[in-house]
Amino acid sequence: MTEPSQGISKHSTAVLRAQGLGKKYGKRWALTDCTIDIPAGHVVGLVGPNGAGKTTLLKLACGQLQPTSGTITVLGGHPAGGPAQLAKVGFVAQDTPVYAGLSIADHLQLGARLNPGWDAALARERIQQLGLDPAHRAGKLSGGQRAQLALTLGLAKRPELLILDEPVASLDPLARREFLQILMEATVEHELSVVLSSHLVSDLERVCDYLIVLVDSRVEVAGEVDKLLATHHRLTGPRRDPDRLPADQHVVSARHTDRQSTIVVRTDAPIHDPAWTVTQLSLEDLVLAYMDRHTAENRRVALEVQR
């Protein structure tokens, strides 16, 4: 069971808050009972397995979908609550959608017509820095160039919150690195809050200072990356029942062989037991530990049902 303090932050301001949020398509729930609190002033990495509800959550935040149950607020208002609210949020979807038949210049003109706070100078400058010809049609651009065009459209809107749903999933490593570098520069320059969903934890390590792991709509862990890495440890030693660990060592996941245990714990206290070899986790190790715990819980429940 997730500790309440891990799932709900105590920040006084938040860019996104959801309480018991759910979205149903026909008879299928894509998101159920999701409670989440995303603080302002961070580049937030949102990670989880397929089907966790990440894309549905982000589309609800942008006002593209309406919730079936629960509540959601973004920057203190309701998503799609009017032109002023929509202007606060920039969104780059998973397939970085652009119009193949329109030129880059056409896209910038369209952005200017649709967004009252449009920064035309910023858009032109970014296109120039990227070395793109405004006359080129979007359909002739590479995947990386299309992603950069979509990011330019999102930034030139001058949002307070920029939401990116798997924006680099289909790009090669070089294009991903260039996209993320420009994203980071823009985040610093324009003081944006960013929520970035990705399966590529290595990319999140480069750019994110806050992490949320979402599994089956539930926040498994949330917090500043540096603090999470400092308080999570891998313990390796002779086989031991995790229930025998000190109370201040919260067990995240545990694996055992006949003679050895490998346990990931979360604790603020030092670990003095000489039986353990203590090692630090990478961000990917941390994410996988929480996902592994969920998988183990599902296996346990399935076995109990079979009995």
Say if residue 96's pLDDT is above 60: yes
How confident is the model at residue 296, as a pLDDT? 55
How confident is the model at residue 202, as a pLDDT? 87
Residue 198 to residue 73: CA distance in whole angstroms: 22
- pLDDT tens for 234-284 read 999 999 999 999 999 999 999 999 999 999 999 999 999 999 999 999 999
Residue 82 to residue 59: CA distance in whole angstroms: 16
| Angle in degrees, 0-180, between the axes of helices 143-156 and 173-190, rounded to the nearest 10 | 10
Say if residue 294's pLDDT is above 80: no
Choosing among 3.40.50.1820, 3.30.2130.30, 3.40.50.300, 3.90.1150.110, the CATH entry for 4-216 is 3.40.50.300
Burial class (CB in 10 A: 0-12, 13-18, 19+), 307: exposed
pTM for the model stands at 0.85
Residue 17 to residue 15: CA distance in whole angstroms: 7
Range in 166-170, 195-199, 231-235, 277-281 the model is least confident about: 166-170
Domain layout of the chain by residue ranges = 4-216, 230-306
- pLDDT tens for 47-77 read 999 889 999 999 999 999 999 999 999 999 9
Q: Using 50, 70 and 90 to split pLDDT, how confident is the model at 169?
A: confident
How many of the other CB atoms lie within 10 Å of CB of 239?
Answer: 11
Q: Using 50, 70 and 90 to split pLDDT, how confident is the model at 11?
A: very low
How confident is the model at residue 9, as a pLDDT? 40
- pLDDT tens for 100-150 read 999 999 999 999 999 989 999 999 999 999 899 999 999 999 988 998 999
How far is C-alpha 236 from the geometric centre of its chain's CA atoms?
30
Mean pLDDT for 75-81 is 90
